[in-house]
Amino acid sequence: MAKKTTDKELIERVKNGDKTAYDLLVIKYQQRIVNLVSRFVRNQSDALDVTQEAFIKAYQALPKFRGDSAFYTWLYRIAVNTAKNYLASQARKPIGSDYDVSEIEQIAGGDALIEQATPENMLMKDELQATVLKAIKNLPDDLRSAIELREVEGLSYEEIAEVMECPIGTVRSRIFRAREAVDNAMLPLIKN
Amino acid sequence: MVNAMNNEKISALMDDEIDGQVIKQLQSDDELKSTWSRYHLIGDCLRDSLPEAIDLDLANKVRLRLQDEAVVITPDFSRKAFLKPVVGFAIAASVATVAVFGIKQSNQSDFSLATGQVAAVKMTNKSTTAQHNVNFEFDNSPQYRTATFQTDTSDLTENHRMSGYLINHNEYRKNGMSAIRPYVRIVTIESQEK
């Protein structure tokens, strides 16, 4: 097992001036952060902007990150604060001509009228989920169990090896093969 | 074949099950980076943590915005942490050196006291004398012990030597041994002209 987590390794690289390492962290956490911010900022376009802002703020604050908590926990707090600040700034805006309909809905809390997502995005999510779940369902039992234990239950390779009564190398291989199979099923959708 | 091998490494890397050597390769290879992105997307999908709107270009937008940002360079805290005990040791060594030289100087005075066993000291010196009561408190003894001695009142340097000795003695004995409590007034002098 690796002594240092991948996040720590990436953060260390960013702190040493390697900006591209931060890119990998953004790719890793982008969907989770958008999902989190969307709970506060209902307008999806704004949620994406707030997410970008949160990642920029996290980058700027990275020298202060001492690694006492997990990077995601730290990023989570930044994202929540950024979303709250955004809502506060929207609430402070005087009622005037520079409001558009979606902003008024946002501030007034008119959930029924809030734009949840564009139809294309909704389709994308639904289609993606359906494709991935179908691909998982079609996997052999050992591959499906391995990837579910890892991704859903969050077990380490060592723990999965214990549960599945097989060597760690086999776990690693099973998880990789499961990902490859799902990726192959998902790839045409993403490329389109 | 090479791709499959690299993808397996990426898979292990995202699970923290491989060391970071593959990161450099990942950073420089767009194909591997896409794999990294899609593998994480699969995980997000299985955990049902996908947002309603999936913007696959989000990371690129952040990257473009970061181009204007200054590069983050942070001092290595681990090196600082390494220096801390060294600096502490240097300070402790300096204090110890000062204490040793102080004791050496006080040993050059006319009198000497047996360390740790001072209960009473009696000194008589020259013609004009004064009686001095010296109060000591030891950690292992709740009672004050009194040392009475007579010395030359005209020779004030003697008093200074005594004070110096007691202070040095106090510092020396602090080192893991019972010590004179620093907050107790350690010397009182009552002059009684004979």
Whether residue A13 is predicted with pLDDT greater than 90 in this model: the reply is yes
The pLDDT assigned to B9 comes to 94
Place of tokens 């005990």: B85
Mean pLDDT to the nearest integer, A1-15: 84
Question: CB under 8 Å to B52, separation ≥6 — which residues?
Answer: A38, A44, A116, A117, A121, A122, A125
DSSP percent split of chain A into helix, strand, coil, nearest 5: 75, 0, 20
pLDDT at B118: 45
- What DSSP string describes B109-127? SS----TT--S------SS
Q: Which chain B residues are Cβ-neighbours of A13 within 8 angstroms?
A: 23
pLDDT of residue B76: 57
Neighbours of A24 (CB within 10 A): 25
Residue B137 has pLDDT above 60, yes or no: no
Among B29, B34, B47, B58, most A C-beta atoms within 10 A, so best to mutate, is: B58
Q: What is the pLDDT of residues A98-133, one digit of tens each?
A: 555 455 445 444 444 444 555 554 457 888 999 999
Based on the domain organization, do A19 and A108 belong to the same domain? yes
A123 and A133 together in one domain: yes
- Domain B2-66 in this protein, CATH class: mainly alpha
More confident residue, A76 or A3: A76
The ipTM assigned to this model is 0.85
- Same-domain pairing of A5 and A47: yes
Q: Tell me what pLDDT residue B142 has.
A: 46
Q: What is the pLDDT of residues A164-186, one digit of tens each?
A: 999 999 999 999 999 999 999 99
Which of A116, A135, A167 is at the close of a domain? A116
Q: How far apart are CA A24 and CA B33, in angstroms?
A: 8
Q: Write down the pLDDT at residue A100.
A: 52
Quickly state the pLDDT bin for B163 (edges 50, 70, 90): confident
- The Cβ of residue A19 has, within 10 Å, a number of other Cβ atoms equal to 17
**Do both A122 and A187 map to the same domain?**
yes
Taking residues B130-149, what's their average pLDDT? Answer: 48
Q: Where are the alpha helices (DSSP H) in chain B?
A: 2-14, 21-28, 30-46, 58-66, 77-107, 156-174
For chain A, what is the domain count? 2
Residues of A in contact with B54 (CB under 8 A): 31, 34, 121, 124-125, 128
Judge if A3 and A86 occupy the same domain: yes
- The residues of chain B that CATH labels 1.10.10.880 are 2-66
For residue B78, pLDDT beyond 80: no
Together in a domain, A168 and A134: yes
Q: Does residue B124 carry a pLDDT above 50?
A: no
Which residues, 6 or more positions from B83, have their beta carbon under 8 angstroms from its beta carbon? none
In the predicted structure, residue A160 carries a pLDDT above the cut 90: yes
d(CA A172, CA A178): 10
A88 interface with B at CB cutoff 8 Å: no
